[in-house]
Amino acid sequence: MPASAKAPSPLVMWLTGRAAWVQSLKPVRVFLHYSRLRGPILASGLAFQGLFAVFAALWVAFSIAGLVISGNVAAQNAIVTALNNFIPGLIDTGDGSGAIKVRTLLSAGVFGWTGAIALVGLLYSALGWLGSARDAVRTMFELPSPAANFAVLKARDLAIGAGLGVVLLVSAVLSVAGTTATGFLLGLAGVESKTVIATVVSRIVTLGVMFVLDTLVLAALYRLLAAIRVPRARLLAGALLGAIGLGLLKTLGSALLGGATNNPLIASFAVLAGLLLFFNLACQVILITASWIATGLEDAGIEIDPRVAAQRLANARELVAAHEPESESEPGSPKGLRAALSKWRARVRVAARRRRRSSPVSTRR
């Protein structure tokens, strides 16, 4: 070592070790993975597309269901409550805090030429959002586009979109049923419906229903829409984690909308800005959850795409053939393939452990 070179001080070594330990934590590696694959940019694009898709879907839905709910106040309240539970601040119930007034939606009436135009816009925007969501989720897993016919993909997207609409209707029904059952049980216990206890219990029931539905929607998004064969236990754990994030976001949705409303620079379109912010955060939760699942799969050395696994196996075979004699086993034989795959997986695990232990700060002089 040259005489002029100095050994790192104990403080530098300690800070280097702490930095390496922080970057070895899974949440940190998940966010680094998410940022490296342009997650924030993908989420922003999804939010922009999703906002227009929701507006078109609302007009089409109320145009079709106009005759059924126009005279049914209970059904109207149930649908509006479900929509505001899923997307806080979407419907204005009279306090001026929503983006769309209830009477405007109810004026859609019977399905007509405006509904037909909205239907075309819905198909275009919704299918575009679902396609973009599929590509964004697969990007978090570092997977190529699915090898399927374009028409088949769009038909599957259309079926999934219809399923999401059914989930919203089920949510409205369950919300009404849960609120009614809660009020009935509290009434039997002698608790009035307008007390703080009744309000808190009713809110907990509503959040519980939304949590279950969000978990199912996220699992369907990763498994059916993105067509990623994630092991069931890891898929469920990731969907539960994402549902918690979406639940917290919905709970704080009114605060987000209020913060946008209080900004004088965007007062003229504050509600729309608040909705766009909510959509952006919701899409980021979806993609961060996908990044969490993908990071866990990488740590475990689990391959989920046959094409990617085949390519990596071919690379492993070339690496093994370049560094080991062919006398151990023929590269093209089943035994050779199994040996190459086993050695490649071992190299993946060793590389992952080294990345977690290695310092992000260079100590070279």
First to last CA, the chain: 11
Q: Tens digit of pLDDT for each residue in 306-333? A: 666 666 667 666 766 665 544 444 444 4
| Mean pLDDT (the chain, rounded) | 76
Has this prediction a pTM greater than 0.85? no
How many CA atoms lie less than 13 Å away from 40 in the CB half-sphere? 5
Per-residue pLDDT for 75 more than 50? yes
Per-residue pLDDT for 274 more than 70? yes
Q: Tens digit of pLDDT for each residue in 1-57? A: 454 556 678 887 888 888 888 888 999 999 999 999 999 999 999 998 888 888 777
Distance CA(113)–CA(116), nearest Å, equals: 5
pLDDT of residue 353: 63
